[in-house]
Chains A and B, each alone.
Chain A
């Protein structure tokens, strides 16, 4: 640390990295259109943009996973060729992917050692690697057991392994691709602390995100991309959240959907002490009790994999219960089939819209009639009425503003936002009495997110009881009337949305109950 050009890990700093005139074409798409981008030692440079804006493509080019069609990359003023990740690593560039690039069945040390030359020739040198990991962990405050298997670690710890992997390889520049998407608020704070320290130590960091408040909190400069083009670069201190939002979407956006006060009516959905198993036959729900009333949205917050998926499937009937009961409008439907629940006007917006919501190789029209294909007006005495189907699906496409070339287009060729609109059109147009919406905006851009939110609020106004399952805390806070938090298959608590704070919810998401908090603090 005494030498100003050397990082704590012993590597040389990258004073400045420039990407100049980058162009990348995919069949039919111009993913990056003449983009200039630079990052310097000691700063966090945020790269902001909606899905499909070209952020990931640009960074994959920098990391050597894609090759640019035009443009060049300069490290401290010198032109470099990066044709694969090995080149990038050799130039001191590391990348923390949104989906962790970790081999779950290997240990931390093995993951770090993978692909590196061993000091023992053909044999692995796990002991040596472990020592070095401990050393780096001390220097950066990234404590993790080198002998632990990845599957034993929490998400936050896994992210530390990713950072360690990059540092071990001598990364002076780190690309963090949406690193907060999978973290609890507390873990986000922890990550930001580490990022700040790394920047202070002289690392260059690129922070990719579409969450405006995080960008404002952590970055010194921000570059916004839209539709593959660069909109501009500014010091973060000179921008506001709404400026950035307008840059990103190309128009003004509202961050808090306007909604009236809730007028909760009768209980429409009730879970009484429900337990269920996961696909792997391990307990996923442990005695969950909930109720959702007419005219309200109950938000279910929690880190992914804590039983949300099973909860949604228990309600819709896709997953059997091992204990407890499910009631729809007071009627016990625990042993009823999916179809019988659908009859009772239960609608489901599934988490994996491509896998569970739509059939890829069906047309738009076919997908739209999936749920009620055997009823009028779509069918009569077992025969599909193609004329009526065309009329009704045409109406739905218009009403829900789905951008599709035709009703006969295959769903697999639509964008994520339009596919979700199709799901909404199918599930919400039937005037449902109960809605289960699982991660309804995941992967959608701001515009599409806004649209989904409006639709859910519209249903709330017309009296539907909605269970909103989301890992996006901002979304939960914006839409819910009440907020329940799930952790390891148990409901940790239910809060009123008016006086709930992100911190409070974050602690519940991490499994800390209110009564344990004083102990934790004390």
Chain B
């Protein structure tokens, strides 16, 4: 039975599943990376995802227009980000606690809106698979990588973009400086508040899209608490990835691939108890975390509010 694991159907299945599962993590974790690189820990990702998922779903449900759905997810995420930025930058609230607050708000609000505006689980037709010409015909790889929906491609395209923005632009330089030493950035005329507002709002928008990637991309349904902790895994993946987009990609893929591997292990009847199988991605992630974290240092000013006259 173990040998079945290396058959091409299974390999393609595992990899294609892993790519899909990684999609929401990527949006959320890349958004979170921007926030954390600027020194703000946003634990409200899950809440932003839920509201984004609902907003996108609802708009598509009512209008059938996918672009409107995406815009709604972006808008809701941006609003949540704006609120989070106000609380953490202006009010200098403890970031962990306020993040949990935003999570609970998103959880409750999305549920309330769901009950009031939809009432029951409904379905929509979301983003459909787009086969990329030629590339999708490549054996194995084509099936894994190039027969997915647009939001999946978007998630993976985001990684090099985020890397480029962080490392090759003046904005990225400001973000990194603000997260390491806001006093230094401030003394050079960089507005710490503006930079943090930008990254938190951007993070919120990407979290919104992460939610939308579930509700109108991969699943095409909305259910209360449908993210079920995914947003928190995304935060963990930022640490895992050493606050670097490529590292986050690696973490997201590892976690997702192991998750899809364990699904196949169960399907193939490999005699591992299901409880053990479902633990695999978590255990592996924790192990990898232990190995990587001691090597990489996070942004020095992470979770520290900034103010001049103290």
Q: Is B a genuine binding partner of A?
A: yes
A100 to B180, CA, bound (A): 13
Beyond contacts A103-B184, A104-B181: 5 other A-B pairs, Cβ-Cβ < 8 A, are A106-B173, A106-B177, A113-B170, A116-B170, A124-B173
Task: Provide the residues of chain B in CB contact with A115, threshold 8 Å.
Answer: 174, 177, 185, 188-190
Q: Would A102 and B169 be within 8 Å (CB), given that A65-B308, A86-B189, A115-B174 are in contact? A: no
13 contacts between A and B (CB under 8 A): A65-B187, A84-B189, A102-B181, A103-B181, A104-B300, A105-B180, A106-B176, A116-B170, A118-B170, A123-B169, A124-B168, A124-B169, A169-B188
Are A101 and B187 closer than 8 Å at their CB atoms? yes
A84 to B181, CA, bound (A): 18
A111 to B308, CA, bound (A): 20
Task: Provide the residues of chain A in CB contact with B176, threshold 8 Å.
Answer: 103, 105-106
Residue of B nearest to A100 (CB): B184
Are A110 and B173 closer than 8 Å at their CB atoms? yes
Are B300 and A114 closer than 8 Å at their CB atoms? no
Hey, what's the 0/1 contact readout for B144-180 against A, CB within 8 Å counting as 1? 0000000000000000000000001111111011001
Task: Provide the residues of chain B in CB contact with A111, threshold 8 Å.
Answer: 177, 184
B244 CB, min distance to chain A CBs, angstroms: 12
Task: Provide the residues of chain B in CB contact with A102, threshold 8 Å.
Answer: 181, 184
A102 to B186, CA, bound (A): 11
Interface of A is mostly: loop
Q: Is A85 an interface residue (CB 8 A)?
A: yes
Q: Is B143 an interface residue (CB 8 A)?
A: no
B184 CB, min distance to chain A CBs, angstroms: 4
Q: Is B275 an interface residue (CB 8 A)?
A: no
Q: Which positions 85-109 of chain A face chain B at CB distance < 8 Å?
A: 85-86, 89, 95, 97, 99-106
Task: Provide the residues of chain B in CB contact with A117, threshold 8 Å.
Answer: 170
A95 to B297, CA, bound (A): 29
Are B189 and A122 closer than 8 Å at their CB atoms? no
B-side residues, CB < 8 A to A, are 168-174, 176-177, 180-181, 183-190, 297, 300, 308-309
A124 to B177, CA, bound (A): 14
A462 to B188, CA, bound (A): 52
Quick one: which of B181, B186, B300 contacts A85, CB cutoff 8 A?
B186
Q: Is A13 an interface residue (CB 8 A)?
A: no
Q: Would A85 and B189 be within 8 Å (CB), given that A102-B184, A104-B181 are in contact? A: yes
Quick one: which of B173, B184, B189, B297 contacts A89, CB cutoff 8 A?
B189
A174 CB, min distance to chain B CBs, angstroms: 13
Hey, what's the 0/1 contact readout for A478-514 against B, CB within 8 Å counting as 1? 0000000000000000000000000000000000000
A86 to B168, CA, bound (A): 23
A118 to B183, CA, bound (A): 21
Q: Would A101 and B181 be within 8 Å (CB), given that A95-B187, A114-B174, A123-B168 are in contact? A: yes
A379 CB, min distance to chain B CBs, angstroms: 36
Q: Is A165 an interface residue (CB 8 A)?
A: yes
Q: Is A66 an interface residue (CB 8 A)?
A: yes
A114 to B195, CA, bound (A): 13
Task: Provide the residues of chain B in CB contact with A100, threshold 8 Å.
Answer: 184
Task: Provide the residues of chain A in CB contact with B174, threshold 8 Å.
Answer: 114-115
Task: Provide the residues of chain B in CB contact with A110, threshold 8 Å.
Answer: 173, 177
Are B190 and A114 closer than 8 Å at their CB atoms? yes
3 cross-chain pairs, A with B, having the tightest CB-CB distances, nearest first = A86-B189, A101-B184, A115-B188
Task: Provide the residues of chain A in CB contact with B188, threshold 8 Å.
Answer: 85, 89, 101, 114-116, 165, 169
Task: Provide the residues of chain A in CB contact with B183, threshold 8 Å.
Answer: 99, 101
Residue of A nearest to B299 (CB): A105
Q: Would A114 and B169 be within 8 Å (CB), given that A85-B189, A104-B180, A105-B180 are in contact? A: no
A115 to B174, CA, bound (A): 7
Task: Provide the residues of chain B in CB contact with A26, threshold 8 Å.
Answer: 309
A61 CB, min distance to chain B CBs, angstroms: 11
Q: Would A122 and B171 be within 8 Å (CB), given that A85-B187, A101-B184, A103-B185 are in contact? A: yes
Q: Which positions 311-339 of chain A face chain B at CB distance < 8 Å?
A: none
Are A122 and B170 closer than 8 Å at their CB atoms? yes
Q: Would A103 and B170 be within 8 Å (CB), given that A85-B188, A95-B187, A114-B190 are in contact? A: no
Task: Provide the residues of chain A in CB contact with B184, threshold 8 Å.
Answer: 100-103, 111, 114
Residue of A nearest to B178 (CB): A103
B245 CB, min distance to chain A CBs, angstroms: 16
Are A66 and B309 closer than 8 Å at their CB atoms? yes
Task: Provide the residues of chain A in CB contact with B181, threshold 8 Å.
Answer: 101-104
A165 to B181, CA, bound (A): 15
Hey, what's the 0/1 contact readout for A180-222 against B, CB within 8 Å counting as 1? 0000000000000000000000000000000000000000000
Residue of A nearest to B297 (CB): A105
Residue of A nearest to B189 (CB): A86
A106 to B177, CA, bound (A): 8
Q: Which positions 134-176 of chain A face chain B at CB distance < 8 Å?
A: 165, 169
Task: Provide the residues of chain B in CB contact with A101, threshold 8 Å.
Answer: 181, 183-184, 187-188
Are A113 and B173 closer than 8 Å at their CB atoms? yes
Are A97 and B187 closer than 8 Å at their CB atoms? yes
A124 to B172, CA, bound (A): 9
A85 to B188, CA, bound (A): 6
A506 CB, min distance to chain B CBs, angstroms: 29
Are B189 and A106 closer than 8 Å at their CB atoms? no
A115 to B184, CA, bound (A): 10
Task: Provide the residues of chain A in CB contact with B189, threshold 8 Å.
Answer: 84-86, 89, 115
Residue of B nearest to A113 (CB): B173
A105 to B173, CA, bound (A): 11
Are B180 and A114 closer than 8 Å at their CB atoms? no
Task: Provide the residues of chain A in CB contact with B308, threshold 8 Å.
Answer: 65-66
Are A103 and B180 closer than 8 Å at their CB atoms? yes
Task: Provide the residues of chain B in CB contact with A95, threshold 8 Å.
Answer: 187
A84 to B187, CA, bound (A): 9
A152 CB, min distance to chain B CBs, angstroms: 14
Task: Provide the residues of chain B in CB contact with A85, threshold 8 Å.
Answer: 186-189
A22 to B185, CA, bound (A): 26
Task: Provide the residues of chain A in CB contact with B185, threshold 8 Å.
Answer: 103, 114-115
Residue of A nearest to B171 (CB): A122
Task: Provide the residues of chain B in CB contact with A124, threshold 8 Å.
Answer: 168-170, 172-173
Are A106 and B180 closer than 8 Å at their CB atoms? yes
A111 to B176, CA, bound (A): 11
Residue of A nearest to B188 (CB): A115
A412 to B109, CA, bound (A): 42
Residue of B nearest to A151 (CB): B297
Are A122 and B169 closer than 8 Å at their CB atoms? yes
A99 to B186, CA, bound (A): 14
A499 CB, min distance to chain B CBs, angstroms: 43
